[in-house]
Amino acid sequence: MSRRVVSADRHVGLADVRPDTTARLDALARIVQDVADADAASAPIEGMGMWVMRRIDMRIARAPRLRAEVRASTWCSGVGPRWAERRTELHVADVLCATTTALWVHTDPKRGTSIPLPAGFDAVWGETADCRRVSARLQHGAPPWEVQRSKWVLRACDLDVIGHVNNAAYWAVVEEELARRGRPRVVAAEMEFRAGLDLGEVVDVLVADTDEGFAAWLCVDDDVRASVIVGCAP
């Protein structure tokens, strides 16, 4: 069994940055999902299902800037019966800019239900996982009574290959709130996904202050579809 670490290089372009030239959270999320897809697509496994993100935790030491060349390296860091955890590091040259930990659920592409990990999973990713067991239990609480409310209008360009809003697009809501707050520097952000969003749905965004920054919930008819907790530098 060999230690499998997959890397990909990405250029931070004009469409990836804020007015201050730092990469947005959605741009970082796209890099993370692209290198994860590169790992899954190149794995020597037949009959693998679809991987759906359940949770992602970003720890950002410094955001890459415009025209930076980012090297993303990813590996499996834990497993469960129907899911796997993936750790990804983003470097610019020798500088570690961000570390992410994401939980991906192995899913039947036709039924959309979770299924056991594919045969041969341990032979490909087992060494880096090192028998570490991880939980898929979501941890974010329900929104409080007093929150700021707004609408999020979904766009056709937010959809992915399965017709749902892509996980990276959810970070646009966070970027809107950061802009409203004067764009404080984000040092940590954790998003949990409960159910998908479809084009045409009316999405309510609920935002509440926390001691470290803010939390937000994306809801459809009071049903929480996703939530995020953001920590900002003082």
CA atoms within 13 A on the CB side of 195: 9
| Number of domains forming the structure of the chain | 2
Q: 136 lies in a domain?
A: no
| pLDDT, position 54 | 97
| pLDDT, position 68 | 98
Could you tell me the two tokens for 118? 């594919």
Q: Is residue 36 located within the same domain as residue 121? A: yes
Q: Is residue 25 located within the same domain as residue 97? A: yes
| pLDDT, position 112 | 85
Last residue of one domain, picked from the residues 102, 129, 156: 129
- What is the C-alpha to C-alpha distance for residues 73 and 38, in angstroms, rounded to an integer? 11
Could you tell me the two tokens for 85? 């955890």
Q: Is residue 70 located within the same domain as residue 123? A: yes
| pLDDT, position 1 | 53
> What parts of the chain have a pLDDT lower than 50?
none
Confidence (pTM)? 0.95
Q: 116 lies in a domain?
A: yes
Instruction: Specify the CATH number for the domain of residue 61.
Output: 3.10.129.10
Q: Is residue 20 located within the same domain as residue 113? A: yes
Task: Provide CB contacts within 8 A for 212, sequence distance 6+.
Answer: 188, 230, 231, 232
Q: Is residue 86 located within the same domain as residue 31? A: yes
Q: 139 lies in a domain?
A: no
- What is the C-alpha to C-alpha distance for residues 157 and 154, in angstroms, rounded to an integer? 8
Q: How far is CA 228 from CA 100, 119, 210, 219, in A?
A: 14, 33, 12, 12
Range(s) of the domain holding residue 197:
148-232
| pLDDT, position 128 | 95
Report the 3 state secondary structure along 105-138: EEECCCCCCECCCCCCHHHHHHHHHCCCECCCCC
Q: Is residue 157 located within the same domain as residue 218? A: yes
| pLDDT, position 223 | 96
Q: 198 lies in a domain?
A: yes
Q: 86 lies in a domain?
A: yes
| pLDDT, position 211 | 96
